[in-house]
Amino acid sequence: MKKLMILVSAVALSGTMFAQKGTTDNPWTLEGAVNYTSADGLDWQAPNVRLRYFLKDNMAGRLTLGYSNATTDDSNSVSGNSIGLGFEYHLAGNDKMSPYFTAGLNFGGGNNKVAGVDNKTSKLGFGIAAGLDYYVAENIYLGLEIGLLNYGSDKSGEGDTEVKTSGMNLGGGSSIRMGWRF
């Protein structure tokens, strides 16, 4: 059994050592992410899906779709959806690693129910981030992305209860991603 485990481990390790970047024959990627923020800690964003299209070897456009829904009890809940459009510029890197910079716009809306009172929300944001994709197998990658600059504007409620907030911060959030290039 011990020899079998060593053999399986060696085969798995060798597969990751010879992994290469995706080829130009595969311009699309699809990925999911685990996000980390200092306020929320580790947060799995399963309904958040990102699709990228490589225009050239070093340039990609991206589309992110997200949905969230959380309920604490019958009188308190938060739900929302978002769409993000962005552009990535990939640096030279090597056969297994592809570092990049990205910039994008995010739009969103939703509904906050607090103490039984519904409030509509809308959001607009802009961000700049740096990241890298590490190919563990051909066309399969793990990625890391760190926010460098983020601006966001939120509006909640209507009429007399309308509240608007906005702010800019350095070093937004970070995410660990897994994706497939096809």
CA distances, 52 to each of 79, 105, 180 (Å): 26, 15, 10
Q: How many domains is the chain partitioned into structurally?
A: 1
Give the E-state strand segments of the chain in sequence order: 28-37, 41-44, 49-56, 59-73, 76-90, 97-114, 117-137, 140-156, 163-170, 174-181
pLDDT of the residue at 16: 47
For position 89, which CATH number holds?
Answer: 2.40.160.20
57-73 residue pLDDT tens: 899 999 998 887 877 77
Measured distance CA(16)–CA(51) in Å, rounded: 24
Averaged pLDDT of the chain: 82
Take residue 115 and report the two structure tokens written for it: 């103490």
CB 60 within 8 A of CB 37: no
The mean pLDDT of 153-174, rounded to a whole number, is 82
Q: What is the pTM of this model?
A: 0.77
Which residues pair with residue 181 across a beta bridge? Answer: 29
Domain span at residue 10? 2-181
CB count in 10 Å sphere of residue 89: 13
Residue 117: band (very low, low, confident or very high) from pLDDT cuts 50, 70, 90: confident
Asked which of 27-41, 47-61, 70-84, 97-111 is least confident by mean pLDDT, the reply is 27-41
The mean pLDDT of 39-52, rounded to a whole number, is 68
164-182 residue pLDDT tens: 889 888 876 788 889 999 8
Measured distance CA(176)–CA(182) in Å, rounded: 20
pLDDT of the residue at 70: 78
